[in-house]
Amino acid sequence: MTHFIATIQEECKNISALLNINKYDVFVAIKEDIAASAKDKNPFALNASSRIFVTLRVWNSEGQVGITNTSNLTHDGLVLAFEVALNSAQFCNTSTKYDFSPLCLDPILSSTAEIESQSTSIQELAQAAVECESAILNAHASIKSVPYNKISQVFLEHCYFNSLNAFRHQKTSFSHCYFYPLAQEENKIPRQLGHNSIANNFKTLSYLQCAQTAIEKTKNHLNYEKVTTGKYMVVFSPEAFLDLVGAFSNFFNAQNILDKKSLSTTDTMNTQLSSDFLNIMDSPLHEAHIGKSFFDEEGTPTRELSILENGVLKNFIHTSYTAQVFGTKPTGHTALGSKLTAHVHFLRIFANKDSQNQQEPNKNSTHIYIENVKALHAGINALQGSFSLPFDGFIVNGEKRTSIESATIAGDFLTLLKNIIYVSPLEKVTSSGICTDIWVNDLSVTGG
């Protein structure tokens, strides 16, 4: 594809000259993926796709910027995209001054960083999916199907270039699988738990182990009880807490603050948002992060960024535009969508081991363990800071753990941060980040 990217680069140069466009930048995303599922011990839903998307920004003579993306990469398609972007630039607010990232020419770890990948056939994925589905179906009489299961292999190639001759390019790959068995015993309600795994490629993907974990999780919830509605001490699993922080990431997102769509304001910087034993950082280059990006969609190198340090808000994530407004440097978090937005890469949430205020809670006291939260798109109101989410979990009473039939947990995110009473020192690597068990006091749980 390197030749293809050079062709696109040359096309963009010629078209911009033809249209008298002096300033532009381009982000190219190339994705090749294959995926397979299994149904009744046969291959099912075999898919493959090959897609290339180009997102381009052009500046008009007034300094206004227009953005367009296209998947039509013929000469005519690219000309149209440049023309459309130029036309849309006239609607850009003249008081908003966009520019290239000031770091787009800075060196990165490797300007053509490549991650070793191995090719796999879709038949191999299908065979593995059937093997896993069969193992799950044979594992327990109550498991009658695995409605959601999939193994995929994805190759990605990203490239950024601009009219200043900045050029970034990287290849990466990952392989992903998930299995969600559906179990039902007589006179009981159906139960569905699952697990997902990710690796750099299919050869290193632990799909059978993933299936085994899905079996164990499902079996753990076959015998369940109703939970009494009330306030509880709650322990979030690493996966559940990462989901929650991700859903409320507007509290450290500079673009959201400018849009007044954040739980923070500029004044929130350096204030204590949680107890002093909680740390949150974004670690895009962490060795455990599969499919890491070395630069964002404006060509800014990605880097580690401390967000919450001992409970104090230390940094916002920035695009080049918000960095310019806030008088700081971009942090490598830009995504080019309908407008510039910032997003986190790979959160690491961990305990401040130096804190004197943290005391290990009595783990034998009655509490609720939340294995995973569900339906975030429906149960999160990120602007209000409120959440009300169904979850899978357990009532823990001493040594006894009993699955909860169905329940929701509700609260206010900023209050939750304040009510954290313990951050376990045991960090767990998940597909979306690294986190520990987080203990929170006084959360409302409604039984179904």
Partner 1 sequence: MTSVSPSLTLGAGIRLFKGTEDCYVSTNDISFNGLKKILEKALDIFNLQISDNRIIPEINLEPLRDYGVLKNKNNWLEAKPPVHEICETLLACNFKQQNTKHLHSSTTSGFRDCQEVLVASSDGIFARDIRLYQSLSAQVSCLDGQHRASCHKRIGDSGNAQFYEKMNINNLTEELAETASNMLHAEFVTSGNYPVVLANQFGGVIFHEACGHLLETTAVQRNSTPFANKKHEKIAHHNLTAWDEGFWENGFGSIDMDDEGMPSQKTLLIENGVLRNFLSDRTGHLLTGHPRTGSGRRQNYSYAPASRMRNTYIAPGNFTKEDMISSIDHGIYCKSLGGGSVSSTGDFNFAVEEAWLIENGKITKPVKGATLIGQAPDVMQKISMSGNDLQISAGFCGSVSGSIYVTVGQPHIKVDSIAVGGRS
Residues 26-55 that bind partner 1 (CB under 8 A): 39, 42-53
x/- string (CB under 8 A) for partner 1, residues 180-219?
x-x------xxxx---------------------------
Count CB-CB contacts under 10 A for residue 361.
Answer: 14
Instruction: Give the CA angle between residues 305, 307, 313 to the nearest 5°.
Output: 145
Q: How far, in Å, CA of 299 to CA of 336, rounded?
A: 11
Based on the shown chain and the rule CB under 8 A, indicate whether residue 448 belongs to the binding site for partner 1.
yes
Report in angstroms how near the CB of residue 384 gets to partner 1 at its nearest.
5
Between 361 and 447, CB nearer to partner 1: 447
Q: How far, in Å, CA of 403 to CA of 394, rounded?
A: 4
What burial class does residue 436 get, using C-beta atoms within 10 Å of its C-beta: 0-12 exposed, 13-18 middle, 19+ buried?
buried
Residues within window 123-162 making contact with partner 1, judged by CB under 8 A: 123, 144-145, 147-148
Based on the shown chain and the rule CB under 8 A, indicate whether residue 66 belongs to the binding site for partner 1.
yes
Residues within window 324-343 making contact with partner 1, judged by CB under 8 A: 337-339
Number of residues that bind partner 1 (CB under 8 A): 73
* Of 237-245, 307-315, 375-383, 420-428: span binding partner 1 (CB under 8 A): 375-383
What burial class does residue 256 get, using C-beta atoms within 10 Å of its C-beta: 0-12 exposed, 13-18 middle, 19+ buried?
buried
* Of 10-18, 282-290, 352-360, 374-382: span binding partner 1 (CB under 8 A): 374-382
Count CB-CB contacts under 10 A for residue 151.
Answer: 30
x/- string (CB under 8 A) for partner 1, residues 403-432?
---x-x-xx---------------------
Q: How far, in Å, CA of 409 to CA of 357, rounded?
A: 27
Helix (H) or strand (E) holding 4: helix 2-18
Report in angstroms how near the CB of residue 51 gets to partner 1 at its nearest.
5
The strand pairing partners of 350, in sequence order, are 279
Q: How far is CA 342 from CA 83, 98, 157, 279, 335, in A?
A: 26, 15, 20, 20, 6
- Tokens 């989901």 sit at which residue? 243
Residues within window 291-330 making contact with partner 1, judged by CB under 8 A: none
Report in angstroms how near the CB of residue 106 gets to partner 1 at its nearest.
27
Q: How far, in Å, CA of 433 to CA of 289, rounded?
A: 7
Between 262 and 300, CB nearer to partner 1: 262
Q: How far, in Å, CA of 172 to CA of 134, rounded?
A: 31
* Of 78-86, 208-216, 233-241, 299-307: span binding partner 1 (CB under 8 A): 78-86
* Of 12-20, 76-84, 159-167, 325-333: span binding partner 1 (CB under 8 A): 76-84
Residues within window 82-111 making contact with partner 1, judged by CB under 8 A: 84-85, 87-88, 91-93, 96
Based on the shown chain and the rule CB under 8 A, indicate whether residue 63 belongs to the binding site for partner 1.
no
Between 156 and 285, CB nearer to partner 1: 156
Between 261 and 400, CB nearer to partner 1: 261
- Tokens 């300094």 sit at which residue? 63
Report in angstroms how near the CB of residue 109 gets to partner 1 at its nearest.
30
Q: Are 47 and 34 in contact (CB under 8 A)?
A: yes
